[in-house]
């Protein structure tokens, strides 16, 4: 009798799970935009403390962007630094102004976040003397 009760309980449990299972939601297509950074590029030299404009391609942007709010950080080699250069701008604008922080002289790149995260070409930043 106990065996039969266990079998019935198992059967009821399985049937109830199958009966209440909802179909998986349809996959919603999302446009992820990965714009090419045009400036700064490999021939660019920035100086700490000065203002510059970061520019990226906008001709290929989709009609609907998942996240149009952008921010830019500084990348050194393979490391994305916590140095925030710009934030709270619309990536559909194709450019934003930044002020270069006091960093060591070296090679850097900018990373544009919004719909995705992508970085531009490596360029030089000249840090303050004696830094």
pLDDT tens for residues 48-68? 999 999 999 999 898 888 888
Rounded to two decimals, what is the model's pTM?
0.75
Comparing CA positions, the residue from 80, 69, 78, 74 lying closest to residue 113 is 69
> CB under 8 Å to 32, separation ≥6 — which residues?
66, 115, 116
For the chain (131 residues), the mean pLDDT of every run of 10, in chain order, is 51 53 58 89 98 96 87 93 95 97 96 88 94 68
Comparing CA positions, the residue from 96, 27, 33, 25 lying closest to residue 64 is 33
Domain contains 78: yes
Domain contains 22: no
d(CA 131, CA 127): 7
Domain contains 116: yes
The pLDDT of residue 11: 53
Contact predicate 122/130, CB 8 Å? no
Neighbours of 21 (CB within 10 A): 8
Q: What are phi and psi of 54, to 5 degrees?
A: -90, 130
Domain contains 52: yes
Alpha helices in the chain (DSSP H): 2-20
Domain count, the chain: 1
51: domain CATH number? 2.70.50.50
Give the range of the structural domain holding residue 84, as residue numbers without chain letter: 37-126
Domain contains 3: no
């Amino acid at each position: 009798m106990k065996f039969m009760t266990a079998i019935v309980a198992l059967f009821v449990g399985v049937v109830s799970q199958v009966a209440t299972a909802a179909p998986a939601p349809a996959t919603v297509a999302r446009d992820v935009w990965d714009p090419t950074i045009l400036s700064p590029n490999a021939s660019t030299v920035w100086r700490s403390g000065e203002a510059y404009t970061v520019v990226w391609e906008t001709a290929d942007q989709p009609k609907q962007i998942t996240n149009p709010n952008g921010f830019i950080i500084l990348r050194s080699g393979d490391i994305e630094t916590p140095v925030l250069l710009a934030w709270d701008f619309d990536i559909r604008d194709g450019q934003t102004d930044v002020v270069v922080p006091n960093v060591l002289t070296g090679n850097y790149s900018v990373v544009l976040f919004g719909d995705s995260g992508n970085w531009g070409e490596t360029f030089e930043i000249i840090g303050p003397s004696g830094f």
